[in-house]
Amino acid sequence: MDNPLRSPILKGLEEYQNKSKLRFHMPGHKGTLPEEFNALAENLYSFDVTELDDTDDLYYPVSFLAESLNDLKKDRKSKESFYLVNGSTVGILSSVMGLLDPGDKILIESGCHKSVHNAVKLGRLKKVVLEQPSHKKGFPLPASEEKIFEILEEDKDIKMVFLTRPNYYGYASDIEKLAAYCSERGIYTIIDEAHGSHFVYSSLFPKSAVESGCSISINSFHKTMPSFTQTAVLNIGSLNEEDIQRVRSMLLMLQTSSPSFLFIASLDLSFRYMQKYKEKFLSLKKMIDLFLRKLENNIHISAEMDSEKDFTRILLYPKGNVIDMLSYLEKNGIYAEMHDENTIVLISTILDEERDFNRLYNTIENYKRSPSISSPQNKIHDNIGLPFLECEGKELLEDIYIYPPGSLYLEKGTILEKKHLVELAKFRKQKIRLHKSVSKNDDLLYVNIDK
């Protein structure tokens, strides 16, 4: 690669590019440029413009942006849709903070994305946490509608139900009855549909949140569609005009005042591309079904077809050590989206091809355990934090999220018990990444040293 300015970023990206042969992670374009995007790719610099008389303004669209948004609205079957250039994160913050006032009560799931917890904090809201059932492999599943009805019947002060659907593992529960129940009682239903942007394109998927009658849904186009990282949309389902304005005002406060036309163009091209190729979901399903069938008697990995789940989210359960399998796949240039203790999660999109699944299958077939990458050093100095093994009984002064997917693991204020420290050590060993709100070093925690 030509790198005359010796940029470490270019160097780092090039190193990844050289290693990565097969991406089962986001963004949904999988590093392949669809030919319909050629004009964008070839004009990156000349298309990077600002709001001028001859262009348009994302927040006050009158010409080509207005036309594009109108088409987006039809694509999403929404009352109105907004392009987001700060990810689904800004859509989540704007929906929650736009519609609720300080002190209001919101029902959230224990495994929701960190942006939901941040919206609760920034909006000074009261949260009621919905505990989720677990899959037999240990990851969280969506709570049933009945469970949510029970909570809403008991607590009439709840003003908003916030759900993630589908979840990171592809599970999506029915929400039509819930949406109708909430709408009758003036309770907002906001659906973090970051992982379900593709639901509208095929009857192989559950109905989208907007089609199910919810107030708002938020889609990260970059996760499962060929759109640039950081691009997303917010869709209005059933909301009155005043509420739409409240969300829009919050969006204008939180988003950048210089939205990138490159991002917006990539969003626009993405949904048109999906409309054009939506039939590909049928062939993708066939390829995934065949791949899973071939794995039925595999000695290294088990995987099952589960009709309850979005089929494009592939869950692999290594029979041995998860990290050994991941390192082996990575050594062979195959990268997964995320993993936990028992499960490797792969994202597949209509940009994947038969040869990709063959390559993945053959690599798994030829699995040979090799020692995983060297274990992390213990003592690295940082100006904030205490080595976590010394933190038993101390009060945690930061939030800790598991990333990906970004769900809350320990909340600020938790008194750390031995089990937490054992679990943290286990996460380190399993190479499960943690995002912390203060300390940067993986081995240190920001705690109250007097407690």
Contact residues toward ligand PLP (CB under 6 A) are 87-89, 113, 115, 164, 168, 192, 194-195, 220, 232, 404-406
**One-letter amino acid for residue 357 of the chain:** F
Q: How far is the CB of 223 from ligand PLP (least distance, A)?
A: 7
Q: DSSP secondary-structure letter at 59?
A: T
With respect to ligand PLP, which residue has the nearer C-beta, 119 or 416? Answer: 119
With respect to ligand PLP, which residue has the nearer C-beta, 28 or 213? Answer: 28
Q: DSSP secondary-structure letter at 441?
A: S
3-state secondary structure of 266: helix
Q: How far is the CB of 185 from ligand PLP (least distance, A)?
A: 26
**One-letter amino acid for residue 404 of the chain:** P
With respect to ligand PLP, which residue has the nearer C-beta, 160 or 232? Answer: 232
- Count Cα atoms within 13 angstroms, Cβ side, for 231: 26
Burial label, 257 (beta-carbon count in 10 A; 0-12, 13-18, 19+): exposed
Do you know the residue count of the chain?
451
Give the rounded distance of the alpha carbon of 104 from its chain centre: 26
- The encoded tokens of residue 386 equal 């205490």
Q: How far is the CB of 214 from ligand PLP (least distance, A)?
A: 15
With respect to ligand PLP, which residue has the nearer C-beta, 162 or 427? Answer: 162
Phi, psi of 168 (to 5 degrees): -60, -25
Q: How far is the CB of 70 from ligand PLP (least distance, A)?
A: 23
CB 116 within 8 A of CB 127: no
With respect to ligand PLP, which residue has the nearer C-beta, 195 or 198? Answer: 195
Residue whose pair of structure tokens reads 């100006």 in the numeric block: 383
Q: How far is the CB of 240 from ligand PLP (least distance, A)?
A: 25
Task: Give the strand pairing for 105-109 and 126-130.
Answer: parallel
CA nearest to 28, candidates 226, 200, 176, 189: 226
CB 410 within 8 A of CB 438: no
With respect to ligand PLP, which residue has the nearer C-beta, 195 or 394? Answer: 195
CB closest to ligand PLP, residue no:
87
Q: How far is the CB of 54 from ligand PLP (least distance, A)?
A: 30
Distance separating alpha carbons of residues 165 and 231, to the nearest angstrom: 18
Q: How far is the CB of 195 from ligand PLP (least distance, A)?
A: 6
Residue whose pair of structure tokens reads 């048109």 in the numeric block: 272
With respect to ligand PLP, which residue has the nearer C-beta, 139 or 328? Answer: 139
Alpha helices in 123-257 (DSSP H): 145-154, 176-185, 221-224, 241-254
Residue whose pair of structure tokens reads 């040293």 in the numeric block: 449
Q: Is the preceding omega at residue 166 within 30 degrees of 0, hence cis?
A: yes
CB 439 within 8 A of CB 382: yes
Distance separating alpha carbons of residues 77 and 70, to the nearest angstrom: 10
With respect to ligand PLP, which residue has the nearer C-beta, 89 or 95? Answer: 89
Q: How far is the CB of 231 from ligand PLP (least distance, A)?
A: 8
Q: How far is the CB of 402 from ligand PLP (least distance, A)?
A: 11
Q: How far is the CB of 222 from ligand PLP (least distance, A)?
A: 6
Distance separating alpha carbons of residues 377 and 421, to the nearest angstrom: 17
